[in-house]
Amino acid sequence: MVSNYLKLQYKLLVRHIKATGLPVPIAYLLLFGLCYLSYYALFQYPNFGYYALILGNFQLLFLLTEKNRNDFLKNIFSRRDFYKIRLWENALVVIPSFVILLLHSHWPYALFLIVLAVLFSFLTFKAFGKSIPTPFAKKPFEFIIGFRRSYLLLIVLYLLAGIGFYAANPNLVLFCVACIGITCVLFYQLPEPIFYLWNQNNTPSGFLMRKFRRGILQCLLFAFPLLLIYVFFFPAALFNACIVLGGIFFLLPFAITLKYVAYPREINFPEGFALILCFSFYPLILALLPFYYIKAINNLKNHL
């Protein structure tokens, strides 16, 4: 039963890859390339690379604990098979990062990752539902869903930022703010149902601008308090805070633009690759944003 379930998940993954228009062997090569880049990045940025790797795995493991999904598995499988599946899933998620950490001879982080994977196999979190209040209005929906899927990661980032203030480590605080910004960017992966757009009475440019304003304001609800405290404790590092703030002002609209370039389908490989390019070389966003903005406007004309 367990092996059949894992084979089924593999087939679903292959279908998702093919739906992006990417050949499956190329997807494997890209995954290998991403692992190599992570390995190389840890040499270049050892102080925060480990944090980023652990936090990324933390969020993936957290998504697998979603209550409705786990309830479904419990209804299908026996209790023993359910926990086998959860252990296998978590192991498959953390193996690449575990190997990277071992290659860096960083045993404490590697062991911590294993502990995290085993612990999350026995946890279930209610990520969706009305019981988790959010500080956002009903429109747009991205931050409500994103917040409920990422609240544990956001709590960890706030705790890390608190440690940064306590240890007088301004770089750690800025790293947490940047991670919050990237987390908010990832809220825009899913497209809304098309009738949401039919209810709009805006022009495509007006619609996008409204999305930009709300997205930035809602992201700042998470990030701005930390930046204010950061400037208060580390006034000499005001310029660094402005750079991170500027990153939010450009990166979030870029992610929204990519979403509506791809609409009504989900963001696939071409748009994801553009986003990764901008993560790795941020000034590139200044050249790409106008190009994708025009493409998004043209695409939205078909739906608004």
Among 91, 25, 33, 106, CA closest to 280 = 33
Q: For 227-237, write each residue's pLDDT tens digit.
A: 999 999 988 88
Among 280, 282, 262, CA closest to 270 = 262
Q: For 114-165, write each residue's pLDDT tens digit.
A: 999 999 999 887 654 455 666 666 666 788 888 888 888 899 999 999 998 9
Query: What would you report as the CA-atom Rg of the chain, rounded to the nearest whole angstrom?
Result: 20
CA distance 32 to 275: 18
CA distance 302 to 304: 6
Helices (H), 131-237: 142-166, 170-185, 194-198, 204-233
Residue 257 has what pLDDT? 93
Residues of the chain with pLDDT under 50: 128-129
For tokens 């894992």, the residue is 6
What is the number of H-type helices and E-type strands within the chain?
A: 13, 0
* Secondary structure (DSSP) of 122-134: T--B--SSTTS--
* Whole-number percent of the chain with pLDDT over 90: 22
Whole-model pTM over 0.85: no
- Mean pLDDT for all residues in the chain: 85
Residue 165 has what pLDDT? 92
